[in-house]
């Protein structure tokens, strides 16, 4: 039996990115961006560029198994994804006084998961079409499908705006999808641990993640400061769609409103308390 194959090269345009930012108002504020399942940082780059232009420090990692070949994704595990997000968060926190976490789809799941396990560290959550479950009928067959084949029909580029294509896999890695389902279950079980301010942007029409996901999240978290924004002119990958400018501008306003004047600059991120 042959050993595992070496990971493939990163696709051009799928690279992780970081912007220095540094607005100087009430200390330095960072925003960690997290892309979605089978996607890449490309889907988050315009948002990141907008945030950086507004003075925020920005970082967006490439999740393990992503941005190369779908077979690499099948060899990845959900704990590798959460570790990558936590590592990027710690790196950004070392440079900033506070860090907000923003995610698209599975990126929203991972952002929420981080706020569950480190509720005192995350300054706020900005979620775009976050995923926690699926109501698709064929999902019930996924355990069987994953044993029979490593790939299925793709879920990428659900975008309403003409001429825009998401840089993502052209197949759905079925074994990685099983990992995602485990991440969903763990995240749903701990939603009540989320106490950080949260804003959720979700599309009224989404062909990948049903809008009920956002309602499940908002109903389950313990945050007393929540905002829901319905996107009327975008599908799933809203960060590249018609409503992207509204997401970008709205996120800047929301973050600034949550950077309070009484915070002491230069203290760094608070240590997580034992819960």
Question: pLDDT tens, 59-112?
Answer: 999 999 999 999 999 999 999 999 999 999 999 999 999 999 999 999 999 999
Binding residues for substrate: 37, 106
> Could you report the per-residue pLDDT of 193-210, keeping only the tens digit for each?
999 999 999 999 999 999
Active-site residue 207, yes or no? no
- Give this prediction's pTM: 0.88
DSSP code string of the chain: ---PPPPPPPPTT---EEE-----TTS-EEEEEE--TT--GGGTHHHHHHHHHTT-EEEEPPPTT-SS-HHHHHT--HHHHHHHHHHHHHHHHTT-SEEEEEEETHHHHHHHHHHHH-TTTEEEEEEES--S----GGGGGHHHHHHH-SEE--------STT------SSEEHHHHHHHHHHHHHHHHTGGG--S-EEEEEESS-SSS-THHHHHHHHH---S-EEEEEESS--S-GGGSTTHHHHHHHHHHHHHHTS-TTS-TTS-SPPPPP-
What whole-number percentage of the chain has pLDDT above 70?
82
Alpha-carbon distance of 99 to 55, in angstroms, equals 13
| Known binding-site positions | 37, 106
Least confident of 30-39, 140-149, 163-172: 140-149
236 is catalytic: yes
Q: How far apart are CA 231 and CA 238, in angstroms?
A: 8
- 260 pLDDT higher than 80: no
| Whether the predicted pLDDT of 272 surpasses 80 | no
Q: What count of Cα atoms within 13 Å lies in the side-chain half-sphere of residue 102?
A: 29
Owner of token pair 């709205």: 250
Check 97, 206, 241, 243 and give the catalytic one. Answer: 206
The overall average pLDDT reported for the chain is: 88
Is the model's pLDDT at 266 over the cut of 50? no
Flag whether pLDDT at 148 surpasses 70.
Answer: no
Q: Tell me yes or no: is domain 17-258 CATH 3.40.50.360.
A: no
User: Which of the pair, 8 or 59, is modelled with greater confidence?
Assistant: 59
Residues 6 or more apart from 252 whose CB is under 8 A from it? 50, 51, 54, 56
pLDDT(155) > 90 = no
Q: What pLDDT sits at residue 141?
A: 56
pLDDT digits (tens, 9 = 90+) for 167-188: 999 988 889 999 999 999 999 9
Q: What is the pLDDT of residue 225?
A: 97
* List 105, 151, 157, 251, catalytic entry: 105
Comparing CA positions, the residue from 32, 216, 212, 235 lying closest to residue 122 is: 32
- Catalytic residue check, 50: no
Output 151 or 185, whichever has higher pLDDT. 185
The confidence score (pLDDT) of residue 174 equals: 87
Give the span between the Cα atoms of 172 and 37, in whole angstroms: 9
**Is the pLDDT reported for residue 7 higher than 80?**
no
Angle between helices 174-189 and 78-93 (to 10 degrees): 60
pLDDT at 143: 57
Read off the tokens for 110: 């991972």
Residue of 72, 236, 241, 269 marked catalytic: 236
Rounded distance between C-alpha atoms, residue 61 and residue 43, angstroms: 12
72 close to 8: Cβ distance less than 8 angstroms: yes
Average pLDDT over residues 215-225: 97
């Amino acid at each position: 039996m042959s050993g595992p194959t070496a990971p493939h090269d990163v696709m051009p345009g799928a690279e992780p990115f970081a912007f220095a930012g540094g607005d100087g108002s009430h200390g330095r504020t960072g925003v960690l961006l997290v892309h979605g399942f089978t996607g890449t940082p490309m889907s988050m780059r315009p948002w990141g560029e907008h945030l950086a232009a507004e003075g925020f420090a920005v970082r967006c990692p490439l999740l393990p198994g992503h941005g190369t070949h779908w077979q690499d994704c099948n060899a990845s595990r959900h704990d590798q994804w959460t570790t990558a997000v936590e590592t990027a968060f710690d790196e950004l926190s070392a440079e900033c006084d506070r860090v907000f976490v923003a995610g698209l789809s599975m990126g929203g799941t991972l952002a929420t998961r981080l706020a569950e396990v480190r509720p005192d560290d995350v300054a706020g959550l900005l979620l775009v079409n976050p995923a926690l479950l699926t109501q698709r009928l064929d999902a019930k067959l996924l355990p069987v499908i994953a044993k029979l084949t490593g790939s299925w029909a793709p879920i990428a580029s659900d975008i309403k705006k003409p001429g825009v294509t998401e840089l993502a896999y052209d197949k759905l890695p079925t074994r990685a999808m099983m990992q995602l389902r485990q991440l969903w279950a763990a995240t749903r079980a701990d939603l009540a641990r989320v106490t950080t301010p949260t804003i959720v942007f979700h599309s009224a029409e989404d062909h990948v993640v049903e809008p009920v996901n956002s309602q499940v999240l908002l109903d389950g978290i313990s945050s007393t400061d929540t905002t829901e924004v319905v996107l009327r002119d975008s599908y799933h990958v809203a960060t590249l769609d018609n409503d992207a400018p509204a997401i970008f501008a709205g996120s800047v306003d929301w973050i600034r409103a949550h950077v309070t004047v009484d915070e002491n600059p230069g203290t760094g991120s608070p240590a997580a308390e034992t819960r």
